Amino acid sequence: MEHGDNVIVKLWLLGVLTVTSYRPIPAQTKPDCKGRFQCTTSIDDGITRFGVAVSQDLLKSGEAHYGDIVWVDGYGYRVINDCMGPKARRAIDLMVFTHREEKQVGVRKLKVYLIKGGPNELPGLSEGR
51-103 residue pLDDT tens: 999 999 999 999 999 999 999 999 999 999 988 889 999 999 999 989 999 99
Structural domain count, the chain: 1
Phi-psi region of 84 (alpha: psi -120 to 50; beta: other; left: phi over 0): beta
What span, in angstroms and rounded, lies between the C-alpha atoms of 77 and 9?
12
In a domain? residue 126: no
Whether 108 is covered by a domain: the verdict is yes
- In 10 A of CB 66, how many CB atoms? 15
Q: Which pLDDT band, with edges at 50, 70 and 90, does 129 fall under? A: very low
CATH of residue 25: 2.40.40.10
Range of the domain at 107: 15-118
Residue 49 pLDDT level (bands cut at 50, 70, 90): confident
